[in-house]
Structure 1
């Protein structure tokens, strides 16, 4: 079953441009694209009127390319033109990063905005991630992501670009969600849902809701001091994460790698069995 969920607010010409790029990639690169979604602020649930369209996709190369001694790149990038950003990963890259605790592919698989997608592909890969994703490594991914955003955009808390607050706030909320859901490794991608499920302090929830509302209607929020409640939430969650989640970097187990190999082979074969001619 092919999936496609695109908000009616998305301009038709932009969607047509994304579809055309994906079609061109399939033809010019000789690949199958079983999953293409919107990532970034539009999918996370805090877009601005001028937010880019961040299409991300997973591609699968045909079997004969796997047998060649000349390896192809594991990413496909297209030119950034205006507000359109379309880039993708080889399925093998997605598996490698997933087993290292990189949560990006998990977010792609859970995006609510789908340009084109095969349900079987999403369900198989997401099921694998749900079974084998290491919550400590996932937490480490979000901690490093959040710390980097905190350091780059508002280390001293003064004159903070208000749009950038979300890029540290989202990892902090994810870490809180993981602490509140000790049996789970995969948090909601949609930020308002994530916030509602991580039981934030009332003052913080109010501030965040106001920021999302302002961001949705204005192209420029400007720069202001970092609100104390947001700074305290972010810093507290990062500090708790450093002690709540195991700090380790073991390679994926032999069993996980074996399961990944079997699923990879299955997905490669099926992608081309169902790819349009």
Structure 2
């Protein structure tokens, strides 16, 4: 079964404004062939990583993330289902990294307070979409909880330790991005992963961010342009701001979307099986 395409207006209504890929430093990149090559239907494929976060370099790879739909036999037979597929390859001189989950697994990740999959789902850099994609997006407000702060706190901590070991600029920007995304989410309920936008929207964002983003454009794995001790206090302060934002957040503590998302998974699977 081929799901109907969803327009940019439809995506906007679902909280997912469509953007031209050239807006993210991907001019002329045709991803339709990548979608067509997949062994099972894709419900959506979006660009994640540095292009979504707003600080790609000239040699950044293209991180594609999405959801595929396994046939019923792939779930109830004796063989282990391919719930997650990963592929890395070079296409016309561009390194591509594609990861997709089967719909059931992806929805389970949504329900585990995983901010990363919500960023993939709501990425405005859409390579392929469908009606179920828009429907999944419509459930994001029901899935987001105050406990998503734990995801961003933990991810920022991992990236900060990587920055301390490597001295590279990339993990430092990932640290700032995770903390600011978490702060903004706790205050607004909105998934926003674009660091330049966050720098303008979050009052506590360090003033040095535009300079660091500009420096990252020159090299994917270049050294940081600031010393660790110069930014340690900023990062510690943002952790405090995230803690306070979580404590004051009006977001619910638990999601009540399991029933609706269960029905969505069953319905989409049955529609596909019936052809």
Instruction: Name the SS for the 2:99 alignment partner.
Output: strand
CA 1:162/1:98 → structure 2, altered by over 3 Å: closer, same or farther? same
Q: List gaps (5 residues or longer) in structure 1.
A: none
Does the 8 A contact of 1:187 with 1:194 survive in 2? no
Matched with 2:97 is 85
List per-residue Cα deviations over 1:162-196 (Å, max 9, x = no partner).
22211111111123223443xx2x33122211222
Deviations 1:241-276 (A, max 9, x none): 456547xxxx977x53322211211233455678xx
How do 1:69-218 and structure 2 match up within 5 A? 69-81=78-90, 83-118=95-130, 120-136=131-147, 138-154=148-164, 160-181=167-188, 184=189, 186-200=190-204, 204-205=206-207, 207-218=208-219
Quick check: 1:35–1:116 contact (8 Å CA) kept in 2? yes
| Separation (CA, whole Å) in 2 of partners of 1:79 and 1:218 | 20
1:267 corresponds to: 268
How far off its partner does 1:197 sit?
A: 1.6
Q: Which residue of 2 aligns with 1:7?
A: 22
* Offset of residue 36 of structure 1: 0.5
RMSD in angstroms over aligned alpha carbons? 2.9
Report deviation, 1:212.
1.4
**Under a length normalisation based on structure 2, what TM-score does the superposition of the two structures give?**
0.79
Q: Secondary structure at the match of 2:37?
A: helix
Quote the residue 2:13 is aligned against. Answer: none
Q: Distance in 1 between matches of 2:116 and 2:170?
A: 21
Structure 1 residues 128 and 179: alpha-carbon distance in aligned structure 2, compared to 1, 3 A threshold: closer
1:100–1:252 contact (8 Å) kept in structure 2: no
User: Which residue does 2:234 correspond to in 1?
Assistant: 233
Which segment is superposed worse, 41-50 or 210-219? 210-219
What is the aligned residue count? 251
- CA gap of 1:193–1:273, structure 2 versus 1, over 3 A, is farther
